[in-house]
C-alpha cells in the first residue's frame, strides 16, 4: 500500500483515536488540557506503581541494559549521577553506518503504512511509556539531577504531553490535503481532460535526535515523535550522562513497533564512548535528513551551519530577561521570582537570568521600594525556599555538571552579591552535588557580564536608568543573543504594551505580572509555544506546524482517465 492519505486505519489508530481527536482539538483551542496526570499520587496511578517503578529502575543498575538492538559487540557506560548514586549501566554500542543502514531498511514499510497507522503506533508507544512512568521518572531524576516530583512531571507526564502534541501537529499537517483528487478541465468542443491525482506523504529520511543532560525526555520527545509520526526512522543519541531515560524510551518503542508488525529499527539508541563524537558523525551522514538538538549555542550553531543535507531543529541558549517597573503585589512578585530562580537550581533553559530594575526603585503596594529593596526581596524569597535542606533540595535538585560549578566560582569575581550560593548536604543522598542560587547586583554598564549566558543558579539584579532603558536593554541583548522567556511587572498598561512590543521585536515569549502559581520558566503543552524560532535562542518552536511540516514532503502521481 502506498503512503497516500486515505489508508485503512491501523487497529492502534482505532484504539487511540479518541485521544488523538482530543489532542487535535487542544492544539486548535490552545486552552488547558493534559492527557497524562502530573500527580504521582497512588490514587491516580495505583498503590504499588511508585515502588514497582523504582524497582524496575534499580534493576537496570550495574548491568547490561536489555535492548534487543544489534551492535558491534562492545558496551558503553558513561553516566555519573549528580546525586552520587552508582549507575554503571552498560548499553550496546553501534557505529554510525550500522545505525543508519538499519534505519534506512525500516523506512519503506513505515512510510507505506500511512499517517493513521503511524499515529496509532506512536500513541501506543506513549501509552506504554505512561504505564511505566515511575520507572522513567527515576531514570530522569538520577541522571539529570532533578528532584523526584519534577522528574515525574517534566520528565514524565509533561514530556508525554509534548510528544502527543507533536503527533497531533504531525497528523494535522499530513492529512491537510486529500489522498486522491479527480481533476477535470474543459477542452473546447472535445471531451474534457480528466486525471486522477494521488498525493503521497513521503518522509525525508533518517532522523537524528541529540539528547541533553538536563531534560533528556522533555527536550527529546517532540522531535522523536514528530519525526516518527511523519514516517522517518529515528536514531536517538543521548547525552553521555543521561542515557538511561532515552534507553528506556527506545526499549518500549521497539517493543510496540515489533508487536504492531513493524521493524523495531525504526527507533534505535546510539550511546557513544568517551570522545567518540558520534553525534557529529551521524549529523553529517548523507542519509540523515533531520536533526533535532537541544544544548549549547556553540554546537547548535555548528549543526545549523554544517549539517547542510538535513533539516536542523535547534534549541540553544539565551538571555532570559525580566523587566521590573512596578507592582501591586510586591510579596507575590518576590515569591514568584524566588521560586523561578530556585527551581532545579536554575538549570532550565527558560529560567530568568537578567532582572532589570530602575536604579531609582519601583512603586509597589508596600510603598516605594529602592533598587536594593527589590533585589533584597527577591534574594530573601530564594533564601527562604532553600533555608531548610530537606525541603530545599526538593526544589533545587542537584547540579548536573562541572560547568555549572565553574560558573558559580567565576561569578564570585563580578558584581556585588545580594545572596551567596551555599553548599548543601542532601539528607537522602550524601554524595549529591547541591548548591543554592546566588543573586548578584550589577549596573547596566556591566554589559560584558550580563550579555552572556550563565547557565545554572546564577541571576543578576541589574540597575538601569529607567524602565524605558530596561526595555531597550531587553531589545538589544535578546535581539543579539536570543532568549526563550521574558517577563514584565508593571501596573501601567502603557508599560505592558511597550514590553509586549519589545518582546515581539525580539521574538521572545512574554509573561506579565506573574505573582501566583504560574511561573515564567514553565511551559504548558497544547497551549504555550516553547521557543519561538524568531531569535537566536532557537530556530524552531515546540510545537507548531512549522516544526513538523518540513519532516515530510508530498509526492504526487497523475493518471489520465
N-term to C-term CA, the chain:
21
User: Would the pLDDT of 313 be above 80?
Assistant: yes
- Decide if 232 contacts 107 (C-beta within 8 A): yes
Three-state SS letters, 286-327: CCEEEEEEECCHHHHHHHHHHCCCCEEEEECCCCCEEEECEC
Helix (H) or strand (E) holding 251: helix 244-259
Nearest Cα residue to 381 out of 345, 425, 416, 333 = 333
Confidence of residue 190 (pLDDT cuts 50, 70, 90): confident
Please enumerate in sequence order all residues whose Cβ is within 8 A of that of 342, keeping only pairs 6 or more positions apart, or say none: 382, 385, 386, 392, 395, 396, 436, 437, 457
Mean pLDDT of the 149-161 span: 98
Sorted by where each starts, the structural domains of the chain and their CATH numbers stand as 47-312+543-560 (3.40.605.10), 321-512 (3.40.309.10)
pLDDT value of position 9: 74
d(CA 49, CA 44): 10
User: Would the pLDDT of 195 be above 80?
Assistant: yes
pTM for the whole thing? 0.95
386-420 residue pLDDT tens: 999 999 999 999 999 999 999 999 999 999 999 99
pLDDT value of position 3: 41
Q: Name residue 92's beta-bridge partners.
A: 75
348-395 residue pLDDT tens: 999 999 999 999 999 999 999 999 999 999 999 999 999 999 999 999
pLDDT value of position 224: 98
- Decide if 411 contacts 454 (C-beta within 8 A): yes
Mean pLDDT of the 55-74 span: 96
- Decide if 412 contacts 449 (C-beta within 8 A): no
User: Would the pLDDT of 8 be above 90?
Assistant: no
Q: Name residue 206's beta-bridge partners.
A: 288
pLDDT value of position 7: 56
Nearest Cα residue to 264 out of 103, 133, 383 = 103
Mean pLDDT of the 25-46 span: 95
Confidence of residue 544 (pLDDT cuts 50, 70, 90): very high
Cis previous bond, 401, omega within 30: no
Helix (H) or strand (E) holding 179: none
User: Would the pLDDT of 64 be above 60?
Assistant: yes
Backbone angles phi, psi at 12, to 5 degrees: -70, -30
- Decide if 287 contacts 100 (C-beta within 8 A): yes
Q: List, as one string, the DSSP characters of 402-431.
A: HHHHHHHHHHTTSSEEEE---EE--SS-TT
Distances (CA, A) of 283 to 72, 203, 372, 485: 20, 17, 48, 28
Please enumerate in sequence order all residues whose Cβ is within 8 A of that of 50, keeping only pairs 6 or more positions apart, or say none: 40, 42, 134
Confidence of residue 189 (pLDDT cuts 50, 70, 90): confident
Nearest Cα residue to 280 out of 295, 265, 261, 258 = 295
User: Would the pLDDT of 1 be above 50?
Assistant: no
511-524 residue pLDDT tens: 999 999 999 999 99
- Decide if 272 contacts 72 (C-beta within 8 A): no
Backbone angles phi, psi at 371, to 5 degrees: -55, -45
Q: How many CA atoms lie within 13 A of 141 on its CB side?
A: 25
Residue 491 DSSP one-character state = S
74: number of Cβ within 10 Å? 12
> Taking every pair of C-alpha atoms in the chain, what is the biggest distance, in angstroms?
90
SS3 185: strand
Residue 345 DSSP one-character state = G
Torsion of CA 313, 316, 319, 323, to 10 degrees: 40
Please enumerate in sequence order all residues whose Cβ is within 8 A of that of 144, keeping only pairs 6 or more positions apart, or say none: 82, 151, 155, 213, 214, 215, 216, 242, 245, 397, 400
What is the residue-averaged pLDDT of the chain?
A: 96
d(CA 364, CA 362): 6
Q: How far is CA 39 from the centre of its chain?
A: 20
User: Would the pLDDT of 441 be above 80?
Assistant: yes
User: Would the pLDDT of 463 be above 60?
Assistant: yes
Amino acid at each position: 500500500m502506498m503512503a497516500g492519505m486515505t489508508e485503512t486505519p491501523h487497529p492502534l489508530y482505532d484504539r487511540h483515536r479518541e485521544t488523538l481527536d482530543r489532542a487535535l482539538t487542544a492544539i486548535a483551542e490552545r486552552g488547558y488540557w493534559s492527557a497524562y496526570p502530573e500527580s504521582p499520587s497512588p490514587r491516580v496511578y495505583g498503590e504499588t506503581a511508585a515502588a514497582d517503578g523504582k524497582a524496575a529502575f534499580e534493576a537496570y543498575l550495574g548491568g547490561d541494559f536489555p535492548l534487543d538492538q544489534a551492535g558491534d559487540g562492545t558496551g558503553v557506560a558513561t553516566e555519573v549521577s549528580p546525586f552520587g548514586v552508582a549507575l554503571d549501566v552498560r548499553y550496546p554500542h553501534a557505529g554510525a553506518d550500522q545505525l543508519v543502514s538499519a534505519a534506512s531498511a525500516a523506512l519503506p514499510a513505515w512510510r507505506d503504512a500511512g499517517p493513521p497507522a503511524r499515529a496509532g503506533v506512536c500513541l501506543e508507544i506513549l501509552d506504554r511509556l505512561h504505564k511505566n512512568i515511575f520507572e522513567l521518572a527515576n531514570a530522569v531524576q538520577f541522571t539529570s539531577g532533578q528532584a523526584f516530583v519534577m522528574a515525574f512531571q517534566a520528565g514524565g507526564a509533561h514530556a508525554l504531553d509534548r510528544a502527543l502534541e507533536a503527533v497531533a501537529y504531525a497528523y494535522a499537517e499530513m492529512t491537510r490535503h486529500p489522498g486522491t483528487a479527480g481533476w477535470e478541465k474543459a477542452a473546447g468542443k472535445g471531451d474534457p481532460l480528466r486525471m486522477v491525482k494521488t498525493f503521497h506523504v513521503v518522509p525525508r529520511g533518517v532522523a537524528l535526535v541529540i539528547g541533553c543532560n538536563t531534560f533528556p525526555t522533555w527536550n527529546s520527545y517532540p522531535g522523536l515523535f514528530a519525526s516518527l509520526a511523519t514516517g522517518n526512522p529515528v536514531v536517538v543519541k543521548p547525552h553521555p550522562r543521561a542515557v538511561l531515560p532515552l534507553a528506556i524510551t527506545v526499549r518500549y518503542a521497539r517493543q510496540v513497533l515489533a508487536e504492531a508488525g513493524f521493524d523495531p529499527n525504526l527507533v534505535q539508541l546510539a550511546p557513544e564512548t568517551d570522545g567518540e563524537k558520534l553525534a557529529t558523525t551521524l549529523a553529517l551522514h548523507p542519509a540523515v535528513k533531520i536533526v533535532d538538538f537541544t544544548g549549547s549555542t556553540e554546537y547548535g550553531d555548528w549543526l545549523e551551519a554544517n549539517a547542510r543535507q538535513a533539516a536542523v531543529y535547534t534549541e540553544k541558549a539565551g538571555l532570559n530577561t525580566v523587566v521590573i517597573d512596578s507592582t501591586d503585589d510586591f510579596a507575590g512578585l518576590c515569591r514568584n521570582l524566588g521560586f523561578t530562580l530556585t527551581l532545579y537550581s536554575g538549570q532550565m533553559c527558560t529560567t530568568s537570568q537578567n532582572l532589570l530594575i530602575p536604579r531609582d526603585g519601583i512603586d509597589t503596594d508596600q510603598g516605594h521600594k529602592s533598587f536594593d529593596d527589590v533585589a533584597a526581596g527577591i534574594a530573601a524569597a530564594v533564601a527562604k525556599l532553600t533555608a531548610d535542606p530537606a525541603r530545599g533540595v526538593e526544589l533545587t535538585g542537584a547540579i548536573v555538571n562541572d560547568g555549572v560549578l565553574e560558573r558559580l566560582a567565576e561569578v564570585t569575581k563580578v558584581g556585588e552579591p545580594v545572596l551567596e550560593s551555599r553548599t548543601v548536604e542532601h539528607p537522602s543522598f550524601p554524595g549529591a552535588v547541591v548548591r543554592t542560587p546566588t543573586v548578584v547586583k550589577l549596573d547596566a554598564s556591566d554589559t560584558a557580564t550580563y550579555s552572556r549566558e550563565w547557565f545554572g543558579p546564577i541571576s543578576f539584579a541589574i540597575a538601569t536608568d529607567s524602565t524605558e532603558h530596561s526595555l531597550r536593554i531587553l531589545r538589544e541583548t535578546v535581539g543579539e543573543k536570543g532568549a526563550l522567556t521574558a517577563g514584565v511587572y508593571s501596573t501601567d498598561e502603557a508599560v505592558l504594551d511597550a514590553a509586549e512590543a519589545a518582546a515581539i521585536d525580539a521574538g521572545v515569549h512574554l509573561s506579565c505580572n506573574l505573582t501566583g502559581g504560574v511561573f515564567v520558566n514553565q511551559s504548558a503543552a497544547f497551549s504555550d509555544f516553547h521557543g519561538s524560532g524568531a531569535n537566536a535562542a532557537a530556530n524552531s518552536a515546540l510545537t507548531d506546524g512549522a516544526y513538523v511540516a518540513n519532516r515530510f514532503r508530498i509526492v504526487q502521481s497523475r493518471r489520465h482517465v
